[in-house]
Amino acid sequence: MLRASPILSHADVQVEPEFETVLDDLLAACRQSLRSVDEDMIRRAFRLGYWAHRNDRRASGERFITHPIAVAAIVARDIGFDDVSVVSALLHDTVEDTEFSLGLIRDEFGDTVANIVDGLTKIRGVSWSRELGQAENVRKLMLSMATDIRVILIKFADRLHNLRTIESLPKQKQLKIASETLDLFAPLAHRFGLNAIKAELEDISLKILHPEEYRGVVHSLQASKVERDGYVRRFIEPLQARLEGDGFGFEMAGRSKNIYSIWRKMKSQDKLIEEIYDLLAIRIVLKSAGKKGKEDCWRVYSIITDLYKPLPERFRDFISVPKSNGYQSLHTTVLGPEGRRVEVQIRTEEMHAIAERGVAAHWKYKEAVSDRDRGMEQFLDWVRDILENPSPEQATEFVKEFRLNLYDEEIYIFTPQGDLMTLPRHATPVDFAFQVHTEIGMHCIGAKVNGRMAPLSYKLQSGDQVEIITSKKQTPNPDWMKFVVTHKARSRIRHSINEKRRRSIELGRETLRKKLDRAGLKVDEQNLGRVANRLKFPNAQQMFYEIGTGLFDAKDFVKSVRSASRGRREEEGASAEQEGLRLRYEDFRDSAQIAARPALEIDGELHTDIVTRYAPCCNPIPGDDVFGYVSRSEGIKIHRVNCRNAPSLLVNQPDRIVSVEWSRQKDVHFLSCLRVMGEDRVGIVSDITTVISKNLKTNIRSITVDSEDGVFEGQIVCSVTDLSHLRRVIERLKRIDGIHGVYRFEE
């Protein structure tokens, strides 16, 4: 690699006349599109790129330098971010493909250009697949976004030019590039607000992947062009006269949707192109700006609806509520001449620039539209968050979350104060809570949606106003993982679950240490693992966890160590598991407490002589789906299948799981504990006891209530006969004014 080159210090490097003309065109585009232009820096970058690629050819046979020049032109004309982006585009292939080093780029153009070129070099080989192995590639791409947004903007231009010149590549490579463009780069360009680039990426990719269908759409559009143009004129004429008469400065034109959008709509609706009613769109771009521009958009909307009948269900106000990429416009669909539906878009020049060039236009109009950067910042915050909280062991989920944030439709949710937040479709109050603040998510116990209580699993709709109710005693529930969709919520919940497990393991380790000390025994780490394996644990960590959560008694570990030290051996012919079960059954009978318990069918047979215990972690009652776990000292423990400890038991110790069904037995009552949360008002406890004792004729064994900051939380222990009885109690409690949530309590 060369650290320096004499060409950079000589302005008379010989450049062919045709490329001098290309350079002049590039500089003209920069002067027209960019806020400021360092022409000397661009000329030096052009000459370095020209010299570096002087002997290189593309697959088509043309000079390689045409590619970085074309990429720089797209950056200047279609993106228009800044002159540093243009310089970086001219140099983006030099470090990878030529003898020039990154150090040379840094010496000549500074750290910013060098870092962008380095970022582009690192993601050059990034490809996209929905397979597990591509998670690291996606992370590289995201890292480039978080480091400098210009890296991904130049990558869009690079991908677009490669698609424009893709014919020279083998067909198989064309298909791969087009597929990953539709899967990754086009949606990502949309997320950055680069609608013009996104549309061209989609159309070229469709042409490669489905050439016949692409040609069919193009042919239909060409065949109807004369008729369509005539209809647009008839629609525009009266509207144009009204707008001119009212003194508006504007540009108005009709347009068709891009080919890919039409094709996708035909596929999703299973219709022919003639049956797609919203092929036509009229765009009105007003020359007014600022507050007056917004007011003029609404005035023009009023004029349009005076002339043509609007369809209210097709109205969208993206001016008051912009999309997360900053897009602003009024959209309405009206019935034009002959009753045909026509979409009309109304926006200012500033809004139009942002609609076409997204984040780059934000940069150009930064002083005027800085408040619109929030959506993009929210997206970049998500990128940074997923990088700072990686889950390498969850690579499939990582890719899934990345795709979710790119592809899913957005919904717009309001806080009680009226602030707007953007979330992916299917988001829940828990996702919203974590979006507002991590601590709110960690402690949420309930939610009000549009003033009414809603389940935490409720799928929010655009326009919902959400209020989160919190309690300092609340911690994330593992069940939340079943319905939350945002990365922030999932990563924080997962971290909380792992932290609880870590604490249980530490508690279990300390408990076992104390038991061994009292027994005068010493067991080193290696033997800890051996004894754990002998006790059918996969490893010592799982054993510590079960000791810490009460699933396993440390005394049994002490017994096993003592038994091994005395040299006891199992009887010949009996397996260790059979002998262990026989001894456990004897212990079951010695400590049997089966009074007032219904008989259970275990592995299909009715048993009344086997001790069963009902796990305190989930408190099962008749009607619950349950399974049995053969414990080491307390008989068969009955767990609900949705118990938080069930996955660990079912996966790690399947040989100790037995099938359990409830048998029918009348007049048997079970203790069940309910967790109740709500507003701390006068008479709330009286209302609760009245509903349970008097209205439902249910015996209350105990009730405890704590209140703080106007919110109370209580535990109620009552006697129920089965699950349906318990459900009646829960549903009736929920109707009490001020109650926010009623849940079965788990220790």
Average pLDDT, integer, range 148-170: 88
What pLDDT, on the 0 to 100 scale, is given for residue 369?
41
Q: Which of 216, 236, 255 is the last residue of a domain?
A: 216
- Cα distance between residue 334 and residue 142, in whole Å: 41
* 319 and 210 fall within a common domain: no
Q: Which of 97, 385, 587, 661 is flagged as catalytic?
A: 97
The number of beta carbons lying within 10 Å of the beta carbon of residue 380 is: 16
pTM: 0.59
pLDDT tier at 706 (50, 70, 90 boundaries)? confident
97 is catalytic: yes
Q: With 70 as the cut, is the pLDDT of residue 511 above it? A: yes
Confidence of residue 35 (pLDDT cuts 50, 70, 90): confident
**Using one digit for the tens of pLDDT, what is the confidence trace for 538-556?**
888 888 888 888 778 888 8
Radius of gyration of the chain (CA): 34
Distance CA 213, CA 231 (A): 26
**Which string of b and e fits 506-539 if b means at least 16 CB within 10 Å?**
ebbbebbeebbeeeeeebeeeebbebbeebbbee
Q: Same structural domain for residues 270 and 135?
A: no
- In this prediction, residues 117-143 reach a mean pLDDT of 61
Are 174 and 293 members of one domain? no
In angstroms, the CA 522 to CA 513 distance is 9
Least confidently predicted of 162-171, 184-193, 537-546, 561-570: 561-570
| Half-sphere exposure at residue 282, Cβ-oriented, CA atoms within 13 angstroms | 29
Q: Report which of residues 11 and 169 the model is more confident about.
A: 169
Instruction: Please compute the mean of the pLDDT values over residues 280-298 and round it to a whole number.
Output: 89
620-647 per-position pLDDT tens digit: 888 888 888 888 767 788 888 778 777 7
Let me know how long the chain is: 747
CB within 8 A of 390, min separation 6: which ones? Answer: 139, 398
Whether 479 is catalytic is: no
Mean pLDDT, rounded, for 523-529? 79
Residue 273 has pLDDT above 90, yes or no: no
pLDDT of 707 reads 77
Asked if residue 207 and residue 83 are part of one domain, the reply reads yes
Q: Which of 96, 577, 609, 731 is catalytic?
A: 96
Describe the crossing of helices 540-549 and 487-519 by its angle, rounded to 10 degrees.
Answer: 90
Instruction: List pLDDT tens digits, range 711-728.
Output: 788 888 888 888 889 888
Specify the pLDDT at position 248. Answer: 92
User: Residue 737 belongs to what domain range?
Assistant: 670-744
Do 188 and 297 fall into the same domain? no
**Pair (206, 182) in one structural domain:** yes
Residue range 115-143: average pLDDT? Answer: 62
In the chain, the N- to C-terminal Cα span, in Å, equals: 65
Least confident piece of the model among 195-209, 522-536, 680-694: 522-536
- Measured in whole angstroms, the distance separating CA 468 from the mean position of its chain's CA atoms is 20
For residue 440, is it within any domain?
no
Among residues 240, 364, 372, the alpha carbon closest in space to that of 307 is found at 240
Is the predicted pLDDT of residue 585 greater than 50, yes or no?
no
Task: Check whether residue 121 and residue 170 sit in a common domain.
Answer: yes
Residue 285 or residue 359, greater confidence? 285
- CA distances in angstroms from 84 to 109, 355, 364, 674, listed in the order given: 9, 23, 14, 62
DSSP letter (8 states) at residue 479 = G
pLDDT computed for residue 386 by the predictor: 53
Do 36 and 129 sit in the same domain of this protein?
A: yes
Q: How far apart are CA 390 and CA 386, in angstroms?
A: 6
Q: Which long-range contacts (CB under 8 A, 24 or more apart) does 449-453 make?
A: 453/734, 453/740, 453/741
Strand pairing partners for 331? 316, 345
Cβ–Cβ < 8 Å for 25, 33: no
User: pLDDT class for 133, splitting at 50, 70, 90?
Assistant: very low
Determine the average pLDDT of the residues in 723-745: 86
| Contacts for 594 with CB less than 8 Å, ≥ 6 apart | 608, 611, 612
The tokens of 283 are what? 């765009």
CA distances from 347 to 197, 298, 416, 422 (A): 20, 10, 29, 22
- Give CA–CA dist 333/342, Å, rounded: 5
Evaluate whether residue 634 is within a structural domain.
no
Q: Read off the pLDDT of each residue in 418-438 and give the average, rounded to a whole number.
A: 87
Residue 277: per-residue pLDDT: 65
Most confident of 265-274, 301-310, 364-373, 611-620: 301-310
Average pLDDT along the chain: 79
Of 716, 720, 736, residue with least CA distance to 728: 720
Looking at residue 580, its pLDDT comes to 45
- What is the rounded CA–CA span in Å between residue 152 and residue 448? 40
- 3-state SS class at 97: helix
Which of these three, 153, 183, 216, is where a domain ends? 216
Q: Pick the last residue of a domain from 339, 364, 389.
A: 364
Does residue 52 belong to any structural domain of this protein? yes
Judge whether residue 73 has pLDDT over 90.
Answer: yes
Residue 227 and residue 212 in one domain:
no
Mean pLDDT of 462-466: 86
pLDDT band, very low/low/confident/very high, at 14 (cuts 50, 70, 90): confident
Tokens of 115: 């870092």
Out of 212-216, 281-285, 375-379, 636-640, least confident range: 375-379
Residue 276 to residue 593: CA distance in whole angstroms:
72
How many domains is the chain partitioned into structurally?
A: 3
